[in-house]
Amino acid sequence: MGRYILRRLLIAIPILFAITLIVFSIQLLSPGDPLNAYVPPDFPLPEAQREALRHQLGLDQPFFTRYGYWLKETLQGNLGTSIRTHETVVNSIRNRAPATLLLMGTALTIGTALGVLFGVVAAVRQYSVLDGILTVFAFLGISTPVYLTGLLALYIFALRLGWLPAGGYSTPGQPFSLTDRLSHLILPAAIIAVNYIAQTMRYTRSAMLEVLGQDYVRTARAKGLDDRVVIARHAFRNALLPIVTLIGASVPALIGGAIFIESIFGWPGVGRLLLSGVEARDYPIIIGITFMLAIVTLIANLITDVVYAFVDPRIRLD
Amino acid sequence: MSDRTDQLGPKDVVRSPAREVIRRFMRHKLAMTGLIVFLVITLMAVFAPVVTQYDPNQIDLRARSQGPSLDHWFGTDRTGRDLYTRTVYAGRISLLVGVLAVAISVALALILGSCAGFFGGKTDTVIMRFTDVMMTFPPVVIFVAVAAAAGPGLRNTILVIGLLFWMIPCRLVRAKILSVRETEYITAARAIGVPTGRIVRVHAIPNVLDVIIVYATLGIANAILLEAGLSFLGVGIQPPTSSWGNMLNVARNINILESEPWLWIPPGIAIVLTVLAVNLIGDGLRDALDPRSRL
């Protein structure tokens, strides 16, 4: 087990370096003078001063010199300073990360629980009316983009029915309370979860159906075991194996959903920070966040691999 | 079918594989529904000037912010532009982006995937590691970052989606080529001295077509969703050109979201209908191309 984890970690290192190179190259795509991100081209600044600034920012250096410098700083935990707010990128992300983690953690928990539950029910009652309804829901869930679900939910539950607050992190002017936070959290988290529930459900359903067709399930039933015992102990535990990988593989998509939802619900997380960086062409912010989120995905993949090896000993052998 | 034996009777019809696939697809009710819906949407987009009576960018200040009416079926926006017209014209952009972006990504996937699978060794390692790296970027994040750097607009949106969307089909193509490579007819072709390039084109690529067709169909749905998403965030298609995504963009303003729902609900429905239809077609194609599924 230890050797398996070590090997996975070693593979991740070159990937990490490739990520840094790609992330840093993103700004090369930008047409025109890179100085424009710092000083608008129509800003009245003498050419000499522009040159001085260019030199000071290192923009006159060749690409790989700049990359080397950036990489050195990044490895020491310095992602630069935001052009717009002059706050360090690491601090900006650190301030926004708790909100995003709360949102994604809730969405992942709700999504996994409901998705697996619906999937098992649909598989056990295959071809029933309930299965049909759940399948239709899954298809709609996969075909409806998260930004549209978000707009609809905001319109119906917050603006028309007034059940929940119309976005934000907490009610302004009120001291922190758990119920207040929850009332702001539940709608965006549920929306991010919808798509994920649909996918988890379809995945769980087919995994369960496959296991339910196995000989050992038939044997267990033939022994006269209670149906619930067979489903919970023999079928579900084996169907869980592929579901573990799905949870890890869904992290990137959930991050993507969070960007839209944070924008729609005014949730003060990393996604909104990225979008405000995009609007201001704030490259340190754009690069820093893209890099951080790629690392998160990489770690999620690593954890998935390790957990999978842990629950399924066969993986470790090859 | 139960009375059928191994021998072909006089009434049995022998169909070519392509015809068989078409026949099986036509029997798939959901897929046919999807196809019809998709055709209607496509035809409306193509013949937009025929099915609408306004100019999509024509400003009419006397008819600002009107709800749906007989004159303006979906109402008008804050500059009096007719929203039904804009929704129909937006379909042109959304479908164009979807189809072209997928064409680019599928071409890339075919080239990279078949090189990796057929040549193996170092080529394979380099291409597949690169694919792994590209897949560690959360999709929306990397699209937003790249679109922000490259600048918005129709051409860039197509390029961004097309060039960042090839990883999954590339893996599919490689896996399929790897299994095809071991078959006897490839060995036979090699033995009689057919050049590698020709083996890939004539023997290997046709075998991955079924995988690619299904993926490309589902990919169009995803590309349409991505285009709408990027435009919704303001880094995709730019006004005054209308796309379903940038029509939704106005709903980020909570006043419009609340008081003028006709501004954002029609493009929203258009996205869902199109994507649903394309997904149904894709599912139907997958079933029709899979000889093991009964249809």
Q: Which of A53-57, A92-96, A99-103 has the lowest mean pLDDT?
A: A53-57
User: What is the predicted pLDDT for the residue at B1?
Assistant: 46
Which residue in A317, A308, A286, A303 sits closest to A80, CA to CA? A286
More confident call, A318 vs B190:
B190
Residue range A267-305, pLDDT digits in tens: 899 999 999 888 888 888 999 999 999 999 999 888 888
ipTM over 0.90: no
Q: Which residue of A has its CA nearest to B230?
A: A260
More confident site: A213 or A58 = A213
* pLDDT tens column, B100-140: 999 999 999 999 998 898 888 899 999 998 998 888 888 88
Confidence (pLDDT) at B5:
52
pLDDT band for A317, please (50, 70, 90 cuts): low
CB contact, 8 Å: A9 with chain B?
A: no
Verify whether the Cβ–Cβ distance B136 to A301 is below 8 Å.
Answer: yes
DSSP state of B240: T
CA distance A139 to chain B (A): 8
Q: Is B15 on the interface with A (CB under 8 A)?
A: no
Residue B238, CB half-sphere, CA atoms under 13 Å: how many?
9
Average pLDDT across chain A, whole number: 85
Does A93 reach chain B within 8 Å, measured CB to CB? Answer: no
Q: What are the tens digits of pLDDT across the range A144-177?
A: 889 999 888 888 888 878 787 777 777 777 777 7
Q: Is A274 on the interface with B (CB under 8 A)?
A: yes
Nearest to B149 among A26, A142, A257 (CB): A26
Question: CA–CA distance from A5 to each of A247, A297, B132, B136 (Å)?
Answer: 19, 17, 18, 19
Residue A248: closest CA among chain B residues belongs to which residue? B136
Interchain pair B138, A26: CB under 8 A: no
- Give pLDDT, residue B100: 95
State how far the Cα of B141 lies from the Cα of A259, in Å rounded to an integer: 8
Q: Tell me the mean pLDDT in the region A238-264.
A: 85
Question: A29, A140, A157, A194: which to substitute to probe chain B, counting the most B Cβ within 10 Å?
Answer: A29
Residue A248 is predicted with a pLDDT of 81
Task: Measure CB to CB from residue B138 to each of A28, A255, A263 and give the nearest one.
Answer: A255
A:164-203 residues touching chain B, CB 8 A cutoff: 166-167
For chain B, residues with pLDDT lower than 50 are: 1-2
Residue A238 has a pLDDT of 83
